[in-house]
Amino acid sequence: MPAPPSRRERLRLARCDAVAARLAELHAIADLLAEAAAVVRSGWVQNAWFAVATPQGERLLTAHQVKHVYVYPVTGACLAGSIVLAAGGPDQATTQLVQRSLDLTWHALRDDAEPPAVLCPSPPVRTMRLRDLTRWNDAPGRTRTEVTDLLSSARDLAARHGTVMPA
């Protein structure tokens, strides 16, 4: 029977596991942001989270009506809504993947490109960041191209984070 690994070896293996988990999460975030960009390219909205096609015509959904995305076909989404929709819909909004994707998008918006951007802020900070993203999306004169460009910048930031190993 082999001797159990030394404390140093256990620490080294734990660090390897943490790095692998971080890289996997960054890859998942990049994939989610790519899907969110596809959502925006197919339909983008301002001043609402989603647009859906109802029998009475297109309807814009605010935060209190988002469950309608499970009833009617989605025809558009805002920046934050596209990330939520790409993850599977409003039921996924509080998942770590969605929250960290929104965090990374906020860092890209702020040109905070120096890894590692904080991807685990306090709930009040996350709320303020979501408001920033929403205000930015809803600004008069904003374009769909600017939104997809921001999502692309966030994907690039995820890739840069993957090249910097934590201490």
pLDDT surpasses 70 at 76: yes
The whole-number pLDDT of residue 104 equals: 92
Which has more confidence, 22 or 158?
Answer: 158
The mean predicted confidence, pLDDT, of the chain is 87
Q: Is the dihedral of CA 71, 74, 79, 85 positive or negative?
A: positive
List Cα–Cα distances, 107 to 24, 125, 132, 143, in angstroms.
Answer: 19, 12, 11, 19
Which has more confidence, 5 or 79?
Answer: 79
pLDDT, tens digit (0-9, with 9 covering 90-100), for 48-61? 999 999 999 999 99
pLDDT surpasses 60 at 75: yes
pLDDT, tens digit (0-9, with 9 covering 90-100), for 89-126? 999 999 999 999 999 999 999 976 565 555 677 889 88
The whole-number pLDDT of residue 121 equals: 78
Please provide the size of the chain in residues.
167
38 found inside a domain: yes
2 found inside a domain: no
Q: Assign 150 a pLDDT band (cuts: 50, 70, 90).
A: very high
pLDDT, tens digit (0-9, with 9 covering 90-100), for 11-64? 766 675 555 657 678 889 999 999 999 999 999 999 999 999 999 999 999 888
85 found inside a domain: yes
The whole-number pLDDT of residue 117 equals: 55
156 found inside a domain: yes
Q: Are 18 and 166 in contact (CB under 8 A)?
A: yes
The residue segments making up the domain with residue 104 are 7-162
127 found inside a domain: yes
- The number of domains in the chain is 1
Q: Rounded distance, CA 133 to CA 53, Å?
A: 25
167 found inside a domain: no
1 found inside a domain: no
Task: Please list the residues that pair with 76 across neighbouring strands.
Answer: 51
